[in-house]
């Protein structure tokens, strides 16, 4: 059992590093939580969200503190992100563990594939002044 917790700690650290650099570290943490620690997929996902929220809050605060995030320019995005989060929670709580596990596996593979296809697009420097088109971003949220 100690080895499982040690691997969970190390895996979580690695996943945090991956999330910082490229994203999709949840593939590691969700696998550890479901396969090694035996949590049901829905519980593992909920547990994983705590880390995702913490990382997002910390990075958002850092961006804000360094003048790279202005909340007054982000109201529409924040609104639709909250609507998307509530809708996602509602859908996730209506699924059985088996249904959720199936969706989760395919979704993680899709995200991994998107990350691996043309990896250079994720490594280029971003233009801080370039604003994404709302008609694209709002449905994504």
pLDDT at residue 65, rounded to an integer: 93
* Per-domain boundaries in the chain: 2-123+132-140
* pTM of this structure: 0.71
Neighbour count for residue 56 (Cβ, 10 Å): 12
CA–CA gap between residue 1 and residue 117 (Å, rounded): 37
Work out the average pLDDT over 78-92. 88
Distances from the Cα of 37 to the Cα of 25, 48, 98, 104, angstroms: 17, 13, 17, 17
pLDDT at residue 126, rounded to an integer: 67
pLDDT exceeds cutoff 90 at 111? no
CA–CA gap between residue 83 and residue 104 (Å, rounded): 20
Work out the pLDDT band at 122, boundaries 50, 70, 90: low
Q: Which two tokens stand for residue 18?
A: 């991956």
pLDDT at residue 128, rounded to an integer: 64
Percent helix, strand and coil across the chain, each to the nearest 5: 80, 0, 20
Q: Considering the chain, what percentage of its residues have pLDDT values greater than 90? A: 5
């Amino acid at each position: 059992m100690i080895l499982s917790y040690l691997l969970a700690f190390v895996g979580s650290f690695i996943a945090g590093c991956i999330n910082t650099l490229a994203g999709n570290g949840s593939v590691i943490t969700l696998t550890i939580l479901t396969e090694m620690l035996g949590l049901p997929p829905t519980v593992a996902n909920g547990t994983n969200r705590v880390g995702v929220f913490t990382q997002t809050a910390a990075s958002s605060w850092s961006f804000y503190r360094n003048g790279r995030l202005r909340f007054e320019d982000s109201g529409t995005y924040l609104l639709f992100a909250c609507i998307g989060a509530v809708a996602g929670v509602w859908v996730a709580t209506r699924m059985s563990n088996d249904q959720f596990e199936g969706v989760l596996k395919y979704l993680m593979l899709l995200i991994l594939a998107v990350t691996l296809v043309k990896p250079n697009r994720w490594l280029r420097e971003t233009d801080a002044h370039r604003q994404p088109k709302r008609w694209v971003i709002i449905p994504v949220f």
